[in-house]
Amino acid sequence: MTMIPLLANTPIPRDLPLPLPLPEGVLTVLLVIFFLVHILFVNLMVGGSVLVTFFEWLGRKDARWDRLAAAIGRTITVNKSLAVVMGIGPLLCINLVYTMQWYSANTLTGHAWLMIVPLVILAFLLTYLHKYKWESWSQGGWKWLHQLVGLAATLLLLFVPLIFLANVNLMLFPGEWEKVRGFFSSLSIGNVLPRYLHFIAASLAMTGLFLAGWFGREGHEIENTPGFTRPELRRIFYKVAAYVTLAQFVFGPLLLFTLPAAGITTQLYIIIVSGALVGLLTLWLLFRELKSGDDRIGRSYVQICVLFSFVVLGMGSGRHVYRQAALAPHQAEIKERTVHYAAALAAFNKQRAAAPPVEQTPEQLFMNCAACHAPNVKLVGPPLTEIAQIYAGNPDGIVAWAKAPGKKRPELPQMPPMIHLGEANLRKIAELMLEKGKAAQ
Amino acid sequence: MDFPSFYMDHLAGGRLIIGLIASLHVLINHPLAVGAYPLLTWMEWWAHKNNRPDIDQLAYKITFIVFIVTTTVGAMTGVGIWLSTSLFAPFAIGSLLRVFFWGWFAEWLVFISEVGLILWWFLTWKKANTPEKKRKHIKIGVALSIMSWLTMALIVAVLGFMMKPGEWNQTRAFWDAMTNPLYAPQLGFRTFIALMMGAVFVWFATFFFTKKKRGYEQGTGPRQLRNWVVYRMSHVVLVSLLGTYLFGTWYWSAIPETMKANSSVALLTQEFMSWHGQFQSLLGWTILVFAAIGLGGLGSSFLIPRWALLIPSLMGIWLLGHFERAREFMRKPWVIGEYMYSNGVHKDELAFLQSEGLLKHATYAKHREVTEANKVECGKDVFMLACSRCHSTTGLNGVIEKFTTMYGADKDWDSSGMALFIQGMHQTRTFMPPFPGNDKEAEALVAFIQQVRATRESLPGAQSTGVVVAPPTAPPAMTASSQP
């Protein structure tokens, strides 16, 4: 594997000096698997919302599409919640494996990263409004409002993944971090947009496949989707899956060929090309299903799903292999810097521990007070001259005051208690204070 | 800290945002999830046992509200605590994840089941139309109640861990947090206050679903339904009140001990003392108000008007908010007790950085060495690295405001005095970490602060102006002083 040398201005931070809780390999496998589970539900949420919006629009002419849209909408309630909870696992893993890159990307796109919270809340609330007002907002202007609510939710759900993608992309290119000025500028680094297209298409294809099974299953109450027979429903959603997957043969290569060279390896090509080959096979099965008659459509559903899972696994692994290769030199440099720093630190601490403990001189101890008490001028507290007058011959009075200062001068702030310095030290300070105060008079 | 600095000048750097998100999460999660789920499950069970479809209906309607709120604002603020902390204190959350991985992992599993169960419970409610199905459905509610309580129990452990290090920095073990002396009182307190607030919420929501309607038979009308709920919820309030009182007092008396045990904050600051006193009286008043409501509800469901129910809820929210603030006191100057300071500096690297310089080892800084010419720029980076996790420049908890209190608004500020203060800031104000840089860096920081005072320019964070990476350091830190 050829390593591309890092750009000169690549930040090489020090890693956190704590071991990973699990071997890195294990965490990496978990990362890929958890991520795929998460992205599956995200796909179904995003793809589902797009289809709901589209079919509801068709439904203005032909009411059966409206019923179908409503039925798809009901699946989103579950899928969107699972998309959120299942997102925590991969977040946990990526935080651990790519600590220094991931958090840095988050910060560099910080405003957008924070906006995820309100945007998703809003999107979900609109989704519920859309779902539960389907019946009561079905006439005239209300229907328009209803469609607008659905559209708004969909647009939000289309936008939020872009924030995540920007982060996932930005973390790969530490050499470019200096150029970033907030979220929007981060979109011009790497190849966020081809990735985004690929993701949206995957969402539609995945949702098509899911809904072909969901509405095609025996348990589906067909009266909820009036005007469609079960084979018809299968056919519609197979079509969505098939044509969008066909389009992926454009988006996929677009993504691959726009990837910055940093992480391109032969291994990556092997994985992606095998994935694409399985994809071709899946596509062939899909079109064969579409051609078969109503009595037979759906019989290859399970095979298609299994093959599709392999495609997804391939793309997920390819994605990871690219990341690993792209970040390998950076990770290695970080490790080296971290080790060096730890060694220097250990040497320093060893030397310090070996040195005999020096007792602080009264002058040094007085530094604890010097920020507020100067010989002649009033800084924060009264000058030493004044103190020396009040406490002439009474260092213990100073000690008592410093342990628990009162409130005397209304124009001055409260003096903080200094009891943590210890009585003996305070006594030394007090004597020096009186000395200095007298000298300055 | 070796991450780019997310920073919002007018919001104390952004800490306020974490605070807001976290408070909102607690305020939803405690009464609605921890408190209301068991009560609603119990209502469903009672309705089933006594064949009261009206009560079942009511429980369903209230669950609808709880479902909408917890799966949107509730869930996303939970994730939001994490997302915002990632920005604001990546060094802390990154370290905690490494040490506390299994805690977070378990938390995740419990959270998955909680979300799965609420979806299952709510979405299948109407389908449970036979006695067997209903019994199964009630069991889902029970499981949900247990899971949401477990989620809280685990989170409290994580928070407790940050509050009191226990033996963690020696053993780095997970269970230490559970044996934290504050764990049991905290958890008990939260459980009962959640139940208390949950009961008031169910009561309050009932008013909206039991408006007077014509055509009801005597004995089953909305009035009777309301009576039924109010009478029982008053009982829940009164019983949980006792628990809240007992655990609250236990917590109140355990907290100074814990603080004393933590040597660096050994002296109880005035701020803490006043917090401690306020907690006691707030607890007293809250309990009094809940008691009044509970007793009133026992008498008659019409004694307590709807708006009056908002009072105990607000008191509860206030008390919880006040309670949450304890963490701040307990923790300072640490973000992870005795291990890492609030600004991300490790305890064991402090002396090293003080001798070598903070900027020399920082990644996201413009210069490595302070000179006359770059003083202010260096000071800015030092501020970002050493102070910005707690202070803003001119905004909330701003250093300008702080120094103004010390040195006055109309006078020149004595730069050497300021530098002395900064270098001794932990000695003077123990809740601040020691200054993690050398003399020149303290002077540079003062120069920066003086400039901000003059210009009032606000300081942007890395999320707006990006990062600057100083030219590569000389081979890492093998200087004469560090060679054995």
Contact yes or no for A36/A312 (Cβ under 8 A): yes
Give the position of tokens 């910005």.
B388
Long-range contacts of A93-96 (CB under 8 A, 24+ apart): A93/A27, A93/A28, A93/A30, A93/A31, A93/A34, A93/A35, A94/A31, A94/A35, A95/B86, A95/B93, A95/B94, A95/B97, A96/A20, A96/A21, A96/A22, A96/A27, A96/B97, A96/B98, A96/B101
Which ipTM value was assigned to this complex? 0.91
pLDDT at A280 over 80: yes
Which of 395-414 (B) contact A at CB < 8 A? 405-407, 414
pLDDT of residue B476: 46
Give the three-state DSSP class for A164: helix
Least confident of A309-323, B218-232, B355-369, B400-414: B218-232
pLDDT at B409: 85
What is d(CA A301, CA A299) in angstroms, rounded to the nearest whole number?
6
The pTM of this model reads 0.91
Comparing B72 with B339, the larger pLDDT belongs to B72
Give dist(CA B54, CA B216) in Å, integer.
11
Predicted pLDDT at A53: 97
Per-residue pLDDT averaged across B86-98, rounded? 90
Return mean pLDDT, chain B.
Answer: 84
The crossing angle, in degrees rounded to 10, of helices B310-331 and B183-209 is 160
Identify which of A86, A352, A367 has the shortest CB distance to residue B420.
Answer: A367
**A113 contacts on B by Cβ (under 8 Å):** 83, 86-87, 463
Q: Give the relative orientation of helices B222-261 and B310-331 as an angle to the nearest 10 degrees.
A: 20
Q: Is the pLDDT of residue A182 over 90?
A: yes
Does B265 have pLDDT greater than 50?
no
* pLDDT, tens digit, 9 for 90 and up, residues B270-297: 667 777 788 888 888 888 888 888 888 8
Mind listing the pLDDT tens digit for each residue in A192-204? 999 999 999 999 9
**Mean pLDDT confidence for A24-36:** 95
Task: Write out pLDDT tens, residues B369-392.
Answer: 999 999 999 999 999 999 999 899
Question: Chain A to chain B, count of Cβ pairs less than 8 Å apart?
Answer: 235
Confidence check: pLDDT of A405 > 50 = yes
pLDDT in tens, B128-143: 989 999 999 999 999 9
Taking contacts as CB-CB distances below 8 angstroms, the residues of chain B near A107 are: 3-6, 87, 90, 461-463
Cα–Cα distance measured from residue B133 to residue B400, given in angstroms and rounded to the nearest whole number: 65
Which fold is adopted by the domain A362-440?
Cytochrome Bc1 Complex; Chain D, domain 2 (1.10.760)
pLDDT higher than 90, residue B16: no
Interface contact flag, B476 A344, Cβ < 8 Å: yes
pLDDT, residue B484, reads 33
Rounded average pLDDT over B197-202 = 94
pLDDT (mean) for A112-120: 96
Q: What is the pLDDT of residues B18-32, one digit of tens each?
A: 888 988 898 899 999
Higher-pLDDT residue of B423 and B183 is: B423
Confidence of residue B64 (pLDDT cuts 50, 70, 90): very high
Per-residue pLDDT, A85: 95
How close, in Å, is residue A284 to chain B by CA atoms? 36
Report the pLDDT averaged over residues A404-430.
86
Between positions 422 and 481 of B, the ones with CB within 8 A of A are 422-424, 427-430, 461-469, 472, 475-479, 481
Lowest mean pLDDT among B128-137, B165-174, B239-248: B165-174
Does residue A246 surpass a pLDDT of 70? yes
Residues of A in contact with B427 (CB under 8 A): 368, 418, 420-421
